[in-house]
């Protein structure tokens, strides 16, 4: 377990305000009574469910449960360990990290370093196999796609042989264990315990970060088998929802314009044609995290997705994500003769494609065009349909001047007064706010009554005791000077749930002698997700703590433990009677 001195952590949080960290990721903050409110970056929403509390250096989302301090925020946003997040914040603020033993540093960093090493060896294996292996199908495929040797070399493209164990045997001879190969996801383990290569008979696309570390792989089949593309699963160094293909090239000349393409081959074709500023998502639709990542390297993004229905729907989703992070988006319209950049450049050349980029439509124009598509604006039904659809698009324009321009233009098309259209937009926004509020309410109901609590699965079985435990933990966090008074009456064994017992044991270790508490004082004892729950407890019970409540909570836990002890001593018949009595008394309240 790694703990940092309290004074160091407090200074770290003071020098790195959590609100400023949110702004670094282009998250818009609005002032509120507690501090700031914003759309939560960890789930899709249009409301402001995430609250930042500057006084306590914390944030908390009332919908998805995300929360913590600036350390937790970085851990969640960039998939970092506790140690790595602290390291980044300390370097940024000029703080010297208290020394740690070499053994501890190796323990913390070994998993990530091991994955980097295995990925590097794996990429070399696939690359050499593509060029010198006996199976030439991978090389034939890339040749057919008209990739030059220089492009193949630049991206380190490779070929996974049609063999279940060739990579495994190669890496095992290099000294890596089966557990390490599974950790890096270059190998998998079957249900009967056999380890086998993850990628087989596929062209391989290494995925790199900005430091040119190989963090994962994408693999494409050479026939019509499914899935067409296979990607590395999440590992200590890779999260497909938080990384981008080819960012190591596109992110070098910033700020500027980035092209968001749909797949690996589109990006590579653009690179080969001289467009080094293209990236692609990793086998999934774009995520909010990827939109924020692009916003760090671009002042404008051009979305270049396929012209089919799926591509156009994906474009709409991407526009919403870029709108949420304040990044201007343009849409590339490719002629029907070519469905993607790769085909277009092959047919018409790079210069024609450059003209397409220059004439890319702005996102609002693209969305309004889609609203008009298939409608006859000369008819009343066509006008009404266009009005309903355009109101949604216009309501999402954040810039007041830009909205005014489009509002007047659309009103002219519909031959109505701008005031009428503006009233419709106001009505639509009010409906959206109510819908969001209702959805948040139902989400919370679902979480409370139907969904398994992955952090503390025992909570649902012991609702009363769970609340008592949370309140006692919050009392310790807010009043560490009372730690001796509480711990003298309550042992870890008195806790019903394992998760809360673990928190209590850690607090008992770190709080003696403290006059204040911040969640990061628990060090690396908890995952980022567990830190979210600890922060929720810390914030939620702040104003609910008093001596009488603490006494009641301790009594509740002692009573529950005594009841469990008594039940364990009952005969089978007596135990059945207890359950029968409980069943008679069950009632539901809303």
Residue 462 confidence (pLDDT) above 90: no
Closest alpha carbon to 495 in 547, 543, 532, 458: 458
Which pLDDT value is given to residue 103?
A: 64
Mean predicted confidence (pLDDT) in 232-239 = 87
- DSSP, res 521: G
Residue 265 confidence (pLDDT) above 60: yes
For residues 167 and 251, is the Cβ–Cβ distance under 8 A? no
Which pLDDT value is given to residue 449?
A: 45
Residue 171 confidence (pLDDT) above 70: yes
For residues 363 and 387, is the Cβ–Cβ distance under 8 A? no
Which pLDDT value is given to residue 574?
A: 56
pLDDT range class, residue 511, cuts 50, 70, 90 = confident
Mean predicted confidence (pLDDT) in 402-430 = 87
For CA atoms 80, 86, 91, 96, the dihedral sign is negative
Q: At what angle do helices 498-510 and 528-540 cross, to 10 degrees?
A: 80
pLDDT range class, residue 416, cuts 50, 70, 90 = confident
Which pLDDT value is given to residue 191?
A: 82
CA-to-CA dists, residue 317 to 56, 243, 308, 581, angstroms: 35, 18, 15, 53
Residue found under tokens 């946003």: 77
Look up the pTM and report it.
0.61
Mean predicted confidence (pLDDT) in 57-85 = 88
Mean predicted confidence (pLDDT) in 386-405 = 83
Q: In this predicted model, which residue has the larger pLDDT, 442 or 353? A: 353
Say whether 9 sits in a helix, a strand or coil: helix
Residue 577 confidence (pLDDT) above 70: no
Percent over 90 (pLDDT), the chain = 34
| Domains of the chain with CATH codes | 6-93 (3.90.580.10), 106-231 (3.90.980.10), 247-367 (3.40.1360.10), 374-448 (no CATH), 459-585 (1.10.860)
Structure-block tokens of residue 96: 């010297």
Residue found under tokens 């124009």: 365
Most confidently predicted of 10-19, 58-67, 160-169:
160-169
Q: In this predicted model, which residue has the larger pLDDT, 556 or 214? A: 214
Three-state secondary structure readout of 484-520: HHHHCCCCHHHCCCHHHHHHHHHHHHHCCCCCCCCHH
- The count of other CB atoms within 10 Å of the CB of residue 340 is 20
Which pLDDT value is given to residue 463?
A: 87
CA-to-CA dists, residue 551 to 89, 146, 430, 489, 499, angstroms: 40, 75, 45, 10, 21
Which pLDDT value is given to residue 350?
A: 92
Residue 82 confidence (pLDDT) above 80: yes
Closest alpha carbon to 236 in 320, 354, 117: 117
Percent over 70 (pLDDT), the chain = 89
For residues 562 and 98, is the Cβ–Cβ distance under 8 A? no
Mean predicted confidence (pLDDT) in 212-224 = 93
Neighbouring residues of 112: CB distance < 8 A, sequence distance ≥ 6: 81, 236, 237
Q: In this predicted model, which residue has the larger pLDDT, 434 or 456? A: 456
Residue found under tokens 């026939």: 223
Residue 575 confidence (pLDDT) above 80: no
Which pLDDT value is given to residue 108?
A: 45
Q: Cα–Cα distance between 342 and 41 in angstroms, integer?
A: 33
Mean predicted confidence (pLDDT) in 289-306 = 87
pLDDT digits (tens, 9 = 90+) for 33-54: 889 999 998 887 778 889 999 8
Strand (E) positions, 161-314? 187-189, 195-197, 202-208, 214-221, 229-231, 257-261, 278-280, 300-304
Written as one string, the DSSP assignment of 216-235 is EEEEEESSS-S-SEEEPPPB
Q: Which uninterrupted H or E stretch holds 68?
A: strand 67-68
Which pLDDT value is given to residue 122?
A: 98
Structure-block tokens of residue 277: 């500023």
End-to-end CA distance of the chain: 43
Question: Would you give the distance in Å from CA 556 to the centre of its chain?
Answer: 38
Which pLDDT value is given to residue 582?
A: 42
Which pLDDT value is given to residue 123?
A: 97
For residues 151 and 268, is the Cβ–Cβ distance under 8 A? yes
Q: Cα–Cα distance between 302 and 565 in angstroms, integer?
A: 65
Closest alpha carbon to 248 in 218, 293, 209, 282: 209
Mean pLDDT estimate for the chain? 85
Written as one string, the DSSP assignment of 337-404 is T-SSHHHHHHHH-HHHHHHHHHTPEEHHHHHHHHHHTT--TTSHHHHHHHHHHHHHHHHT---HHHHH
Three-state secondary structure readout of 395-437: HCCCCHHHHHHHHHHHHHHHCCCHHHHHHHHHHHHHHHHHHHH
pLDDT range class, residue 315, cuts 50, 70, 90 = confident
Mean predicted confidence (pLDDT) in 552-578 = 68
pLDDT range class, residue 437, cuts 50, 70, 90 = low
Which pLDDT value is given to residue 460?
A: 82
- Residue 378 CB-half CA count within 13 A: 0
């Amino acid at each position: 377990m790694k703990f940092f001195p309290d004074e160091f952590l407090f200074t770290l949080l003071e020098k790195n305000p959590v609100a400023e960290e949110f702004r670094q990721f282009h998250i818009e903050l609005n002032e509120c009574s507690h501090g700031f409110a914003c759309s939560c970056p960890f789930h899709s929403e249009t409301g402001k469910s995430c609250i930042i509390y500057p006084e306590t250096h914390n944030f908390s989302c009332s919908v998805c449960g995300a929360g913590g301090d600036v350390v937790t925020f970085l851990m969640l946003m960039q998939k970092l360990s506790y140690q790595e997040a602290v390291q980044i914040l300390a370097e940024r603020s000029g703080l010297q990290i208290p020394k740690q033993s070499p053994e501890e540093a190796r323990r913390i960093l070994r998993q990530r370093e091991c994955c980097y090493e295995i990925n590097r060896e794996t990429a070399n294996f696939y690359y050499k196999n593509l060029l010198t292996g006996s199976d030439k199908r991978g090389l034939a495929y890339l040749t057919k796609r008209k990739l030059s040797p220089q492009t193949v070399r630049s991206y380190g493209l490779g070929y996974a042989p049609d063999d279940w164990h060739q990579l495994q045997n190669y890496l095992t001879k290099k000294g890596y264990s089966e557990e390490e190969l599974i950790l890096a996801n270059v190998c998998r383990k079957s249900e009967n315990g056999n380890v086998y290569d993850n990628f087989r008979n596929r062209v391989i696309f290494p995925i790199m970060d900005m430091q040119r570390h190989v963090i994962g792989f994408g693999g494409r089949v050479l026939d019509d088998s499914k899935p067409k593309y296979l990607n590395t699963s999440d590992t200590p160094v890779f999260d497909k929802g938080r990384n981008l293909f080819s960012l190591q090239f596109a992110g070098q000349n910033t700020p500027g314009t980035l092209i968001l393409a749909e797949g690996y081959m589109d990006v590579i074709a653009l690179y080969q044609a001289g467009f080094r500023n293209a990236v692609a998502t990793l086998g999934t639709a774009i995520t909010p995290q990827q939109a924020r990542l692009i916003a760090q390297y671009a002042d404008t993004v051009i979305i270049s997705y396929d012209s089919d229905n799926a591509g156009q729907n994906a474009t709409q989703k991407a526009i919403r994500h870029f709108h949420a992070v304040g990044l201007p988006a343009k849409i590339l319209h490719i002629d029907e003769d070519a469905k993607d950049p790769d085909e277009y450049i092959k047919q018409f050349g790079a210069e024609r494609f450059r003209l397409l980029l220059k004439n890319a439509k702005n996102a609002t124009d693209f969305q309004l065009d889609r609203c008009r598509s298939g409608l006859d604006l000369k008819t009343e039904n066509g006008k009404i349909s266009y009005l309903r659809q355009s109101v949604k698009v216009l309501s999402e324009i954040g810039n007041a001047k830009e909205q005014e321009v489009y509002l007047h233009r659309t009103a002219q098309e519909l031959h109505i007064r701008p005031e009428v259209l503006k009233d419709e937009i106001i009505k639509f926004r009010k409906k959206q706010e109510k819908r969001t509020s209702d959805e948040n309410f139902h989400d919370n109901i679902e979480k409370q009554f139907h969904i398994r609590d992955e952090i503390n699965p025992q909570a649902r079985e012991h609702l009363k005791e769970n609340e008592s435990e949370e309140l006692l933990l919050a009392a310790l966090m807010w009043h560490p000077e009372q730690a001796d008074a509480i711990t003298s009456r309550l042992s870890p064994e008195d806790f019903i749930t394992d998760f809360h017992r673990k928190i209590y044991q850690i607090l008992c270790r770190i709080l003696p002698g403290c006059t204040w508490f911040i969640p990061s004082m628990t060090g690396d004892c908890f995952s980022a997700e567990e830190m979210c729950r600890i922060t929720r407890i810390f914030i939620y019970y702040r104003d609910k703590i008093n001596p009488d409540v603490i006494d009641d909570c301790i009594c509740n836990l002692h009573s529950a433990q005594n009841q469990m002890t008594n039940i364990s001593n009952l005969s089978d018949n007596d135990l059945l009677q207890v359950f029968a009595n409980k069943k008679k008394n069950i009632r539901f309240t809303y």
